[in-house]
Structure 1
Amino acid sequence: MASKTSKKEKRDEAAATAVVSMPFLVKLLEDHRDALSKEFKSAMTSLEAKLDFVQETVTDHGNRLTSLEANANHLSDKMEELEAKCAAMEGSYNKLKAKAIDLESRSRRNNIRITGLPESIEGARPTDFFSRLLVELLGDQVLTTAPELDRAHRALTIKPSPGSRPRAVIARIHHFRTKELIIQEARKRRGKLFFQGKPVAIFEDYCPEIVEQRAAYREEQ
């Protein structure tokens, strides 16, 4: 009898404990759920703020890229415009340069260049001296009279020191045919013209650009 009573008391005690524990457990679960909900909401709020910041950053970068692309396109258009202008200017420059070379060449058409003559031998009247010198170099059979010179002078460079290579003489022959005769005869006697025992040469007086072109042409041959 006592054993049955003890068992019954234990069952009643367990039931009472279960009845008492359920509200506690429910409350505990609700508290835990509320805590989790708050943490979730806080995390979501923080995440949303970060996403908003990222979105703003992406939008700002997108706007900047759009602006940079527009500027790049504008600069590209400007570059194309400048390249076209530069090409046009280069074409005009080349035409003007060619005309300038042609005009300078025409102005030198009657000139001859004499190399190998010692400095200062011409004295105070260079045109008279070099006119007579041409007859002496080429002979009176080629030049029956002293050719008329419009002017004669040394190349416009610094006067060399004694013993150095003398400057060339540039002489303008008044008559073109006489100038051509002098050049033709000088070519025939190249290496055979001497003054005071020193070799002398007579050439066309080309402008520097023509000299460079002729040198480049000879190198290609």
Structure 2
Amino acid sequence: MSKAKGKHAEKDKELSPAASITMSNISSLLDEHRAALSADLKSSLESLTSTLDSIHSTITDHRQRIDFLVTNAISADERLQYLEDTCSALQKDESLKLKVVDLEGRSRRQNVRIIGLPESTEAIFRTEILASPLELDRAHHSLAPKPSPGEKPQPVILRFHRFQVKDLVICEACKRGPLVYKGRTIRLFDDYSPDMLKQRVEYRGPMAELYKREYKTAHYSTEWGEDMNPVHFRGD
């Protein structure tokens, strides 16, 4: 028995140093792995933190831009609404429309519209109709396209320097009736604005009835004075 115990004791002595070295190595390896994992985790967390900070900065910048765009959109919408309200109010303001019509009519006060005048005709008033040259500001065709051969010629617009002379020409043209130039009948009219023509169309029926009753319009005369009505009716 004593010999057996001695053998076991010797075996334990032989195994104990090996077992102690193995545990020490394992503990050292675990410590190394723990340190490496800690370093890797710390590095990953730092990288993740940096990425999150960049994302947060980008989101903050986008939020500021979106807020700026929303503010500008609201401001633009308010200005647009103000303009729409203003335009709506101006459209309902009949006085402005009447002023524009009046100003356009005054700008055409010195104009004469000639219908039927052949194309490329110049200076007919100076040589054939009126004894003395006229003082004109300008003369031009209307904005209609140039007619093809055989079609009706474009109306011609004359702007007299003095509206009194224009009125005398219109009165004389009414007295003489249609004028003939080179076998072509030409007519002279006042150059009314589109709005004025619409108003005259509305009175076409009453005017026809007055003509049936032998009432005729009397054109404006410079002897009446500017404060008198340029159109009145008289019986023959």
After TM superposition, the score normalised by the length of structure 1 is 0.52
1:33 positional shift: 0.9
1:157 aligns with 2:157: no
C-alpha separation in 1, matches of 2:157 and 2:36? 109
Match of 1:100 among 94, 98, 103: 103
Q: Identity of counterpart residues, as a percentage? A: 22
1:34 positional shift: 1.9
1:40 positional shift: 0.9
- Cα shift readout 1:95-116 (whole Å, capped 9, x = no counterpart): 43322344457x479x674754
Give the conservation status (yes or no) of the 8 Å contact 2:116–2:187.
Answer: yes
1:78 positional shift: 1.9
1:27 positional shift: 1.9
1:199 positional shift: 1.6
CA pair 155-115 structure 1, distance change in 2 beyond 3 A: farther
- Cα shift readout 1:23-68 (whole Å, capped 9, x = no counterpart): 2211211221122112212221221232123212212321221122
Match of 2:180 among 187, 194, 198: 194
CA pair 210-48 structure 1, distance change in 2 beyond 3 A: closer
Q: How does 1:22-37 map to 2 (within 5 A)?
A: 22-37=23-38
Question: What runs of 5+ residues in structure 1 fail to find an aligned partner?
Answer: 130-150, 159-164, 187-192, 214-221
CA pair 211-200 structure 1, distance change in 2 beyond 3 A: farther
C-alpha separation in 2, matches of 1:127 and 1:178? 10
- Residue 76 of structure 2: aligned partner: 75
1:57 aligns with 2:58: yes
1:173 positional shift: 5.2
The residue type paired with residue 180 of structure 2 is F
Give the conservation status (yes or no) of the 8 Å contact 1:155–1:168.
Answer: no
C-alpha separation in 1, matches of 2:136 and 2:193? 16
C-alpha separation in 2, matches of 1:155 and 1:85? 38
CA pair 70-128 structure 1, distance change in 2 beyond 3 A: same
- Residue 231 of structure 2: aligned partner: none
C-alpha separation in 1, matches of 2:156 and 2:72? 59
CA pair 31-172 structure 1, distance change in 2 beyond 3 A: closer
After TM superposition, the score normalised by the length of structure 2 is 0.49
The residue type paired with residue 47 of structure 1 is L
1:18 positional shift: 1.9
Q: More helix by proportion, 1 or 2?
A: 1
Aligned-residue Cα RMSD (Å) equals 4.8
- Return the structure number with greater relative CO, CA threshold 8 A, min gap 6: 1
Q: How does 1:160-171 map to 2 (within 5 A)?
A: none
CA pair 180-88 structure 1, distance change in 2 beyond 3 A: farther
Q: How does 1:1-221 map to 2 (within 5 A)?
A: 13-86=14-87, 88=89, 94-103=97-106, 107=109, 113=114, 116=117, 119-120=122-123, 123=126, 127=130, 156-157=138-139, 172=166, 186=178, 194-195=180-181, 197-207=182-192, 209=194
- Cα shift readout 1:186-217 (whole Å, capped 9, x = no counterpart): 4xxxxxx634x52232142323647998xxxx
C-alpha separation in 2, matches of 1:200 and 1:155? 25
C-alpha separation in 1, matches of 2:189 and 2:56? 79
